[in-house]
Amino acid sequence: MDHLPEHKKETEHILSKEDYVEPRCVLSGDPYGKVPEVKPVPQQRIIEKMDEYMGQKDYAGAERHLKYWLEEAKLGADLRGQLTIRNELIGFYRKRGRKEDAYENIEEALKLLAALDFEGTISSGTTYTNAATAYYTFEDNEKALPFFEKAKDVYEANTATNADLLGGLYNNMALCCTALGRPEEALSLYEKALDLMKDVPGGILEQAITYLNMANAKEAQLGMEAAEADIFRYLDEAESLIDQAKELTGEGGIIHEGYYAFVLESCAPTFSYYGYFMTADELSRRAKEIYERT
């Protein structure tokens, strides 16, 4: 879930088979005319390994890892696995600023949804959210909003939707609404996100990010001077939540230190933008300390 304040953008290697073995040759598969048996790829292990690469900022390794398993999923006729990996690739290329690659994977993911007849499922909501977030990142906001709306319809209609998924959607959709000059809608979505994330284990950081985003939306709605009191209130709430989250990190904590550091580093520019310079410096210092230690 990548829904950070708009004033900031992003920001023990274990050798595994895909690091040194090429994907199977497509010509070595089943005989012509035979319907291939589905050979599922290990989706959870793929995602965990991807998180490891990204945590180490080994972006070349991360891309190679996903491309390897995408070929394996294709050779194994595993459409579900392909959809998972396409979604991972959308997020990866979005973070790396590679617009064309992100858009290509959006198109392929949408084709897979249709082939799997997954429209209306939580998987479709996740894909729509990933597509919308990528379009928003590359400032195609008019294209992004309809996908956010489709994801919202899917998630809200499905009782099995996790609160963190819906909360993340509200945050990301609100960013898009603010960018489109619709701050009132954005603020309403942020309130919904806050209400959901308070019941999510470890959701305290997501709440902090939401408050910073609300400061941006309130400024867009009223202007800096008229919104000043609300902005300072939002920033104070965010700072308090970030401090509380520190107690939930470390060994046995429910918040991974690497993610905590990422949030600190990402939120610092918003505090600085609104004149909270000491807070911004402290967050940057904490993030650096964690990165140097891990």
Q: What is the pLDDT of residues 91-131, one digit of tens each?
A: 999 999 999 999 999 999 999 999 999 989 999 999 999 99
Name the pTM for this structure.
0.80
Cβ atoms of 270 and 283 closer than 8 Å: no
pLDDT over 70 (residue 12): no
Structural domain contains residue 168: no
Structural domain contains residue 198: no
Local confidence band at 199 (pLDDT 50, 70, 90 cut-offs): confident
Structural domain contains residue 38: yes
Structural domain contains residue 88: yes
Q: Which tokens go with 43?
A: 């989706």
Range of the domain at 26: 1-114
Mean pLDDT is lowest, of 35-39, 84-88, 195-199, for 35-39
Structural domain contains residue 144: no
Structural domain contains residue 1: yes
Q: What is the mean pLDDT of residues 62-89?
A: 97
Local confidence band at 35 (pLDDT 50, 70, 90 cut-offs): low
Structural domain contains residue 67: yes
Residue with tokens 């394996």: 72
As a whole number of angstroms, the distance between CA 176 and CA 284 comes to 27
Q: For the chain, how many structural domains are there in total?
A: 1
Structural domain contains residue 271: no
